[in-house]
Chains A and B, each alone.
Chain A
């Protein structure tokens, strides 16, 4: 079992601010997934990163996979209240185990 550590655990910011959340491990992953979960619902996949150093953009969200494929970051530019949720990462292969998540609250 490969442990994924996510930081920060909680983050509360004002609308329009930028933020970065992290997903770290001591293990190497072949790929890493980021999910967002809204209250009362199941998580939904945002992106999968595969190549070390890869950067993927999804509108205001930028995902980066570390060169050594042990860590990843998610940067949100000009956060909006709609970005509020629990952000989870899952590395492969790891039998669909998730990190503990970062709970983001964006205040209007």
Chain B
């Protein structure tokens, strides 16, 4: 069966520090991968999605970047965090962009 792992679960980082969130999927090949951010009480904002290794589509220009160094690994990064980067970050995978998305447990990031 397929599983998705996302870590860490919580993170407190100072303003200006770097960020690296990692997401890995097991049990499937060539998944579509997604990073979302969710502000408190709000919906999901699609940040990045990837349909293959090295292929990243950015939805919103901001202080973040994403990379897919391996087929089932998706990394969200920042060189210098801003207060506005705080939120709940979710990684997800799907077989195609039109089929069910399976989500990780999320990372709650607080920038202080």
Q: Footprint of B on A, CB under 8 Å?
A: 6, 30-31, 33, 35, 40-45, 48, 86, 88, 90, 92-101, 103
Q: Which residues of chain A come closer than 8 Å to B44, judged between CB atoms?
A: 43, 88, 98, 101
Interchain CB contact under 8 A, B42 and A101: yes
Question: Whose C-beta in chain B lies nearest to the C-beta of A90?
Answer: B101
Q: State in angstroms the CA–CA spacing of A6 and B42 once bound together.
A: 12
Question: Whose C-beta in chain B lies nearest to the C-beta of A103?
Answer: B41
Q: State in angstroms the CA–CA spacing of A92 and B101 once bound together.
A: 12
Question: Whose C-beta in chain A lies nearest to the C-beta of B100?
Answer: A45
Other A-B pairs, 13, CB within 8 Å; known A92-B98, A95-B46: A31-B98, A33-B101, A40-B108, A41-B103, A43-B90, A48-B100, A94-B97, A96-B92, A97-B46, A98-B46, A100-B42, A101-B42, A101-B44
Interface size class of B (residues with CB under 8 A): 20 to 34
Q: State in angstroms the CA–CA spacing of A94 and B32 once bound together.
A: 13
Q: Which residues of chain B come closer than 8 Å to A93, judged between CB atoms?
A: 97-98
Distance between A21 CB and nearest chain B CB, rounded to angstroms: 13
Question: Whose C-beta in chain B lies nearest to the C-beta of A45?
Answer: B100
Interchain CB contact under 8 A, A92 and B97: yes
- Cβ contact of A42, chosen from B41, B98, B106, cutoff 8 A: B106
Q: Which residues of chain B come closer than 8 Å to A94, judged between CB atoms?
A: 97
Q: State in angstroms the CA–CA spacing of A98 and B110 once bound together.
A: 23
Instruction: Sample 15 A-B pairs with CB under 8 A, ordered by A number.
Output: A30-B98, A33-B101, A41-B103, A42-B92, A42-B104, A43-B101, A43-B103, A92-B99, A93-B97, A94-B97, A96-B94, A97-B46, A98-B36, A98-B43, A99-B43
